Amino acid sequence: MIKVNAVFDIGKTNKKFFLFDDDYNEVHREYVNLPLTVDEDGFETEDLEALREWMKNTFDGVLDNQEYDVKTLNFSSYGASLVHLDYKGKALTPLYNYTKDIPDFVTDEFYKRYGDSLTIAAQTASPQSGMLNSGMQLYWLKYTKPEIFSRIKYSLHLPQYLSYLFTGIPVSEYTSIGCHTNLWDYDAEDYHSWVHAEGIDKILPPIVPTSASINTTYKDRKIKIGVGIHDSSSALLPYILSKKKPFLLLSTGTWSIALNPYNSESLSTEDIENNCLNYLRIDGKRVKASRFFMGNEYRLQVEKLTEYYKKDYGYHRNVAFNQDIYLRLIEKPKVYFKFEGISLQRLPKETELEPFDTFEEAYHQLMIELMELQIDTISNAIGNSEIKTIYIDGGFTDNDVFMKLMSHHFSNFKVLSTQSPLGSALGAAMVISDKQVTSKFLKENYRMKKLVPLFFDV
């Protein structure tokens, strides 16, 4: 039998299950897309019962497999989601979707009681975003569904609920508490005063370290079960554990998020206005992050380029960086694109494509304009910290124009692209393991590639 460490990695779309050996090599994986359900207002959301059933069946199937000896189990998942348990340990409500709106009268009353939104945002390192600030869900429940709120014994963040399904023990931990929840006062290193004033701290279980585990017997097997971890913090963990020198991780996808685990400055109101936030590391130290909706904007604009230049969708994937086009475009800098999903005080009122003869030219201009925002977010995240290395992971590592522009604009940094199909699952396995990893770990497991700065032939 192979000794393995099991991890459930629960995303909004893909639900994944991994088995790793003691050297963190993947030995088994399963993927599934589960159907959604709706809440009492007809708003689409995760089907908790379907998720629970799939997880139990999947794990039981592995335990029944004579090939594997499961030693540990842990969980990584998206945040900004709470499961409210009654006194019998049953979920009282659906898992409300974090894109659901909170009525204005609820938030207006909240700010009237506890201070203006910018001040609260800076104290909790949480740009104010409605239900995406999961603490606001508790406030909303208390004042719009008091009969349900009164029956809550514990409210668990989703990663901890997944652990609870297998241990029956309710806990809280730092990475979930700290992910733009509005709950945590970063300077006080405690729940914010509004949380205590509303008595909400009484339904939040005791805080334990993210590295905590529970030795339990499950189906007659002795297994060490972790308490769960927020996926962004989990994705960062392999870098933190294997690298001693400070670095910045640029995670690219729908959002482009610059994560700096070495910046402990308090956020200012200006930081909040620049879409900065904090996450908490597994040890409770802060990670400064700066984000913008790059992947979403990129998709919207590429669809328009495809239509305008009459190209098949997917054509953009093969556009390589062209030095001549780039040098010509930056000779006379100008903004041509009206961004749809990013709110900026910028011209133009409409996108201008007429000046560009080809798809390639317009595409290079789009990437130049997105890169200007990317430079700002990275600079905001770095702040005053001494960082010389930038790792880039996610979907944009395959974008030749983006990567060439990164190597050009950050030529004073060591910039490396990394690729790991394991995402946040690996961090969840590592956080409850005693095994040490060396600085070679990333090189061996993340297909690292150093970017060469551009030298233009002019």
* Integer Cα distance of 418 and 416 in angstroms: 6
Structure tokens at 165: 């399904």
Residue 296: count other Cβ atoms within 10 Å of its Cβ.
Answer: 17
Supply the pLDDT for residue 436.
83
Write the DSSP string, 107-156: HHHHHHHH--HHHHHHHHT----GGGSHHHHHHHHHHH-HHHHTT-SEEE
* Integer Cα distance of 137 and 200 in angstroms: 11
Q: Do domains 2-227 and 231-458 have the same CATH topology?
A: yes
Please give the backbone phi and psi of residue 65, each rounded to the nearest 5 degrees, phi first: -80, 120
Q: What percent of the chain has pLDDT over 70?
A: 99
Handedness of CA 199, 106, 142, 179 (dihedral sign): negative
Longest Cα–Cα distance of the chain, Å, equals 72
Supply the pLDDT for residue 445.
76
Q: What percent of the chain has pLDDT over 90?
A: 80
CATH architecture of 231-458: 2-Layer Sandwich (3.30)
Query: Quick one: which H or E segment has residue 386?
Result: none
Query: Quick one: which H or E segment has residue 325?
Result: helix 323-331
* One-letter-per-residue 3-state SS of 175-189: HHHCCCCCCEECCCC
* Integer Cα distance of 441 and 452 in angstroms: 22
pTM, full prediction:
0.86
* Integer Cα distance of 170 and 87 in angstroms: 12
* Integer Cα distance of 41 and 401 in angstroms: 44
Say yes or no to pLDDT of 252 above 80. Answer: yes
**Which distant-in-sequence residues (6+ apart) come within 8 Å of 250 by Cβ?**
256, 257, 258, 259, 374, 378, 390, 391, 392, 393, 394
Say yes or no to pLDDT of 345 above 80. Answer: no
Question: Where would I find the beta strands (DSSP E) of 210-260?
Answer: 213-218, 221-226, 229-230, 248-252, 256-260
User: What are 256-307's pLDDT values in tens digits?
Assistant: 999 999 988 899 999 998 889 999 988 888 999 998 889 989 999 999 999 9
Supply the pLDDT for residue 457.
66
Structure tokens at 358: 């080809």
Say yes or no to pLDDT of 458 above 70. Answer: no
* Integer Cα distance of 418 and 35 in angstroms: 32
Structure tokens at 84: 């409210």
User: What are 371-420's pLDDT values in tens digits?
Assistant: 999 999 999 999 989 999 999 988 899 999 999 999 999 999 999 998 77
User: What are 307-332's pLDDT values in tens digits?
Assistant: 999 999 899 999 999 999 999 999 98
Mean pLDDT is lowest, of 2-6, 19-23, 254-258, for 254-258
185 forms beta bridges with 190
User: What are 155-173's pLDDT values in tens digits?
Assistant: 999 999 999 999 999 999 9
Domain boundaries, the chain: 2-227, 231-458
* Integer Cα distance of 73 and 62 in angstroms: 12
Please give the backbone phi and psi of residue 277, each rounded to the nearest 5 degrees, phi first: -150, 175
**Is 3.30.1060.10 the CATH classification of the domain at 2-227?**
no
Residue 410 three-state SS: coil
